[in-house]
Amino acid sequence: MEAISRKHFLIQMGLMSTATLLFSGCNFIGDDGEPLKRVQLQPAKKGEDIFAYLQRNQGKIDTDLYRKIIGAANAFKEGDLTLGLAAADDASRATARELLGNTKIASIDKHLIFQDALYDLVRETTATAPPELESFSILDLKTFILEQAEAEVKRIMPALSSDVIGCVVKLMSNDELILVGQKVFNPLAGSQIGSKGYLSARVQPNSPTDNTDDIIWQVFDAWSYAVGDLVLGTNPVSSDPVSVAKIEAALYDILTTFELEETLSNCVLSHIDVQAKVEAKHPGTTGIWFQSLAGTVAANKTFDVSLEKMREYTKQRNERYGLYAETGQGADFTNGHGSGFDMVLHESRKYGFVRALQEQLKAQNQEGAQPWVHVNDVAGFIGPEVFKTKEQLVRCCLEDTVMGKLHGLTIGLDICSTLHMDVSLEDLSWCIEQVMPANPAYLMALPTKNDPMLSYLTTSFADHVRIREKFGYKINDAMWEFFKKLEVIDAEGKPTAHFGDPKWVYYKFKQAKGDTRSKAEVYQEAENTLKEIRDRGVAIAEGFGENVWDLDPALEAEVKKLYEDAKESLWTPMDASFAASIAQALLIKTRSEDRKDYVYHPESGEELSFDATRKLKELRQDWNQIPDVQIIISDGLNARALMDDGHLLPFLNTLKDQLHNEGYTTSAKNLVITHGRVRAGYACGEHLFGADNFAGNKAIVHIIGERPGSGHHNFSAYLTAAPAASWSKKRWVDHDISRVVSGISDTALQPEEAAKQTVAILKTLLAKDVKELEAMKSA
């Protein structure tokens, strides 16, 4: 890459991104302190099922081994290995699948691998089994699903529990999963979305700064390529209801201006509590309501979600647009809630939860049209701790597509990867082509493969055009007619001269608003706005390459440069001289052996080394008075975010000045961690604040390099405050009581401004009492 300044590089590329919260693994170590091992199984006897095998080898129904057999039947993924549930070898995997195939559906439903209130709800909303299912084994069920027509499969689907659905996909090859995907469809009411031969798109118009121009112009951009017929769904940076309402209003205005509010929905993917607040203040503007969901009660607490909360909100969703859920394999265990069972069953239980909410909606609306419910499986977002390779990404997407369909859901995919996975831009295109024959309901859609906020790779508008051309997929008929009316495609559905021209869509938008200016005047205004957007670093695609499904060559080259920068950032270590140069630095390390160990085994970056704990003990002994705040600095996944000029130093200086102005004291030493994850900061807080009996709360501000992928080299500040009694409990302090200021750099959220925001949030956290913190954890 040319030796140009990063700021100039960003402006030249027109690409910008800021990382969301980094997903961090938890410490997966056995009760004896030894790392968990792979599952080694002895050969099964002919016809033996899981429970006969357990009785023969253990003399009882051993729950731990039961879970391991179920997990060992999975296709290999790193997440199951971390959980100690992956098969030791192909022979053990074959044995696990043989045992599972021989096991009766009724036995799986009788012997639960894990029970909580969420799965009680799933069972309550699973229909009574027809007579033939009572004698079916899991292998019999697989055969039935593969051989019978869709109507027959859909007849028994309501009687299949989530665990049974999760088990049957384990026995299917990729080709068999594709066959099921091509057979079973659950379209949204009054549309072709989710129908056979249709592939819809969620436009994902993310902005690193929640700038509404960034957002609405990505919508115009999508529509110029005839892409975007399901939902206009943006991930917000801020969860402030005022900010969310502003974005919702901007998206809703586009829909109403073009008279599309009954054709597709808008959505700001903030917490459902925030969406409800916005809807209460601005009725009718929020569109479909979104929420990330997990597979257990405990895991849902990470998202500040309970069964009761979701059921109450479901009661309010009786119009056309109901609920939009987001899930993904590995999210549960990486948030510390693996509960001893594998990722496939966790994912299946999430779909069972969504199905239960969908059934509630059906019961509420027996006489009217069914509100839309759809689920988006975000496969690949977390990183290599879940799975590393392109083959595993394809497997995950196919499993989840089929599990969603067998639950009677309209399921789409985010076929995506992070920059620290072993999946390149070319690999991701290959993955998309491998998954598409299974006909998921929809995919994400962005101007390029790079998300300008979340620092990950996903599907571009050009990918949608290519997929439709190659596989013959259509989009929702009503929206296709709109694109003809918009004149980006002609009467035969072929691209016109306006195809790939977002300025044209803006011109049509202004005409619909009653603007009588000439095309030239509107285009000039559009050019000025696009320059501002690109100068902020947000990509807007225009035109195409040799084919209409090719990205413009110059923009494609810029995306590749961005990818190369991300890889360089990921593997660049924190320079020892830089670490030592930080004022009053106390240098410590985690248990990661090196950068590779840290990237591929996140749990190693959460545990402090023995030398680190010794140094923290000495620091604590040196304190004459316990400070209010301990500042911690970690390299994270992008050490360059800290080392770049104009990043860490202005943030630190402003942070300390602001804290002192507010009357807070800070530790004389700044902890500087090599190979540090977010939870390494909590561990520091435990050592420093957990052995005393002080009044009120003590806090940490953990400054950490974000996931690379933007070219910005952003860092975040994680803010956590708790009383001594809470710091003294190992792992009590966690993400659920923390807040984050993200996207900090000299080309995104300015460090000085970020420091002021940090102190403002920290003040509220320091003022919380124990009851408020308990409420945050149990919400």
- How far is the C-alpha of 649 from the C-alpha of 643, rounded, in Å? 9
| Amino acid 454: pLDDT | 87
- How far is the C-alpha of 704 from the C-alpha of 295, rounded, in Å? 29
Residue 666 CA from chain centroid, whole number: 35
Mean predicted confidence (pLDDT) in 72-99: 96
| Amino acid 359: pLDDT | 97
Specify whether the CB–CB gap between 309 and 294 falls below 8 A: no
pLDDT band at 12 (very low <50, low <70, confident <90, very high): very low
Residue 671 bridge partners (DSSP) = 586, 632
Share of the chain above pLDDT 70, in %: 95
What's the token pair of residue 457? Answer: 């790779």
pLDDT band at 775 (very low <50, low <70, confident <90, very high): confident
Q: Which of 11-25, 410-424, 492-506, 593-607 reaches the highest mean pLDDT?
A: 492-506
Q: Which helix (H) or strand (E) holds 284?
A: none
Whether the pLDDT of residue 758 is over 50: the answer is yes
Specify whether the CB–CB gap between 343 and 386 falls below 8 A: yes
| Amino acid 36: pLDDT | 56
Specify whether the CB–CB gap between 13 and 720 falls below 8 A: no
Q: For 646, phi and psi rounded to 5 degrees?
A: 80, 15
Neighbours of 690 (CB within 10 A): 20
pLDDT band at 21 (very low <50, low <70, confident <90, very high): very low
Contacts of 125 (CB under 8 A, 6+ apart): 352, 355, 356, 359
Mean predicted confidence (pLDDT) in 225-236: 97
Rg (CA), the chain: 26
| Amino acid 435: pLDDT | 98
Length of the chain, please?
779
Residue 634's closest CA among 596, 583, 685, 587? 587
At 498, the amino acid letter reads: H
| Amino acid 16: pLDDT | 30
| Amino acid 778: pLDDT | 60
Specify whether the CB–CB gap between 690 and 702 falls below 8 A: no
For the stretch 461-471, pLDDT in tens is 999 999 999 99
pLDDT band at 455 (very low <50, low <70, confident <90, very high): confident
| Amino acid 302: pLDDT | 86
Residue 5 CA from chain centroid, whole number: 31
- How far is the C-alpha of 69 from the C-alpha of 61, rounded, in Å? 12
Per-residue burial over 373-391, b = 16 or more CB atoms within 10 Å of its CB, e = otherwise: bbbbbbbbbbbbbbbbbbb
In Å, the largest CA–CA distance within the chain is 84
pLDDT band at 30 (very low <50, low <70, confident <90, very high): very low
Neighbours of 55 (CB within 10 A): 13
Answer yes or no: pTM beyond 0.85. Answer: yes
Mean predicted confidence (pLDDT) in 656-675: 97
- How far is the C-alpha of 213 from the C-alpha of 533, rounded, in Å? 7
| Amino acid 22: pLDDT | 28
At 235, the amino acid letter reads: N
For the stretch 151-195, pLDDT in tens is 999 999 999 999 999 999 999 999 999 999 999 999 999 999 999
What's the token pair of residue 278? Answer: 């916005």
| Amino acid 600: pLDDT | 86
For the stretch 538-567, pLDDT in tens is 999 999 999 999 999 999 999 999 899 999
* Span of 1-10, 96-105, 447-456, 682-691 with lowest mean pLDDT: 1-10
Residue 172's closest CA among 398, 489, 493, 480? 398
- How far is the C-alpha of 140 from the C-alpha of 644, rounded, in Å? 60
Residue 456 CA from chain centroid, whole number: 10
**Mean pLDDT, the chain, integer:** 93
The residue whose two tokens read 């009661």 is 315
| Amino acid 5: pLDDT | 46
Specify whether the CB–CB gap between 335 and 22 falls below 8 A: no
Q: 59: buried, middle or exposed (CB in 10 Å: 19+, 13-18, 0-12)?
A: exposed
Q: For 104, phi and psi rounded to 5 degrees?
A: -70, 145
Mean predicted confidence (pLDDT) in 371-389: 92
Contacts of 688 (CB under 8 A, 6+ apart): 616, 619, 620, 630, 667, 698, 727
Q: Output 383 or 69, whichever has higher pLDDT.
A: 69
Mean predicted confidence (pLDDT) in 740-767: 94
Whether the pLDDT of residue 11 is over 50: the answer is no
For the stretch 254-266, pLDDT in tens is 999 999 999 999 9
Dihedral, CA of residue 478, residue 412, residue 707 and residue 275, to nearest 10: 70
| Amino acid 779: pLDDT | 52
pLDDT band at 1 (very low <50, low <70, confident <90, very high): very low
Per-residue burial over 9-48, b = 16 or more CB atoms within 10 Å of its CB, e = otherwise: bbbebbbbbbbbebbbbbebeeeeeeeeebbebeebeeeb
Specify whether the CB–CB gap between 633 and 670 falls below 8 A: yes
| Amino acid 289: pLDDT | 98
Q: For 241, phi and psi rounded to 5 degrees?
A: -55, -35
Residue 588's closest CA among 666, 692, 671? 671
| Amino acid 317: pLDDT | 96
Specify whether the CB–CB gap between 563 and 425 falls below 8 A: yes
Specify whether the CB–CB gap between 201 and 228 falls below 8 A: yes
DSSP structure class, residue 672: E
Mean predicted confidence (pLDDT) in 677-698: 94
Whether the pLDDT of residue 20 is over 50: the answer is no
